[in-house]
Amino acid sequence: MDSEFLSEGSPSGEKILTIRIFASHEAADLAAAKLEAHGIKCWVTADDCSGMYPSLTTATGVRLKVQAADAETAVALLDAQATTAEISQLEADALAATPPKTTPSKKLAWGQMAIGFLLGVLVCVLFQGKNDPGNDIHYSYTADGKCYEALIYRNGHIVEICKDRNLDGRWDCWIYYQHGHVVRAEYDNNFDGKRDLFVTYSNSLVVSTEQDTDFNGIPDVFCRYKNGMLQQVDYRPNGSKFTTTREIFTNGVAAEIWRGGDSHGFFKVVEKYDPFFNELERKHLYFDPINTNSSEPFRLLTPVTE
């Protein structure tokens, strides 16, 4: 803004003049520094509540004031083009006179720190998984776009197969592999979200199964295999710790059924069948109460193993 002398008084009786009005504190401070460098006393004032409301300077500006005796010299200095050395000196003086702005430090709450830590861990896990060339998943879809199978590979070898057999959007079959051979499989056969059939393999052949037939979360049918062929089935209903019924198989065909098992390993009845499941023989193994000479029930000659 052009120079304009505005007369004011001071408490000491000296006459003070406003020689220039600037749009910002920075421009006014730079001009004041130039005057002070030449020994001219000056003041910078503004109606912005000591800088708390800088937007107020838009209307009234920032005023540069000097004593009346120095007014003409100050205007001449401001109108004169400064040399490079003067500009450098003014900038250095202004920088030294301006106090550094400090921002009060904020303490983070424990919750914020915990959230930040968890987010950091999650980002690391996602980054590692994304950049691990050993992990690969192949999806299979039906004609209408529903995913029914996922094959998971690690380092080029299959490690797991997930299947959605009823296409409800949830996996209900999980098959696990080691070194290219199946070692375990789990199934949700009633599609309630809980696994109810567990199969164990050895050399890719079934060696045992556990099945929850009443879907209460506790297996109650236990099967054993040899060379992939069914050998024995034990029934332990309702979470029983002992076998109540046992089926013995020969060449994969039911040959005997033991019934009425108790916690001591006794069975009341043994039934034998031919390969066509025709009953050949039935034996009641507990003692005849009329025969008082016998005080112990008969045990099976075939070893009972749990």
> Which pTM value belongs to this model?
0.51
Q: Which residues of 46-71 are buried (b: 16+ CB within 10 A; e: fewer)?
A: bebeeeeeeeebeeebbbbbbbeebb
* pLDDT given for residue 296 in this prediction: 46
- Residue 263's pLDDT is what? 85
Domains, the chain, in order of start with CATH, read 6-97 (no CATH), 129-284 (3.90.930)
CA 52, 57, 60: angle at the middle one, nearest 5?
A: 135
If one compares 39 and 286, the residue with the highest pLDDT of the two is 39
In a 3-state reduction of DSSP, which class is residue 69? helix
Tell me the average pLDDT across 264-270: 89
Q: Which residues contact 29 (CB under 8 A, 6 or more apart)?
A: 44, 94, 97, 98
What mean pLDDT is reported for the chain? 81
Residues 11-65 pLDDT 10s: 556 788 888 888 888 888 888 888 888 889 998 888 776 666 666 666 678 888 9
3-class DSSP string for 253-298: EEEEEEECCCCCCCCCEEEEECCCCCEEEEEECCCCCCCCCCCCCC
| Helix (H) or strand (E) run with residue 26 in it | helix 25-37
**What is the mean pLDDT of the segment spanning 160-168?**
95
Which segments of the chain are extended strands (E)? 6-9, 15-22, 42-46, 62-67, 135-141, 147-154, 157-163, 173-178, 181-187, 197-202, 205-211, 221-226, 229-235, 245-250, 253-259, 269-273, 279-284
What is the pLDDT confidence band of residue 86, given thresholds at 50, 70 and 90?
Answer: low
127-150 per-position pLDDT tens digit: 655 545 567 999 999 999 999 999
pLDDT class of 297 with cuts at 50, 70, 90: very low
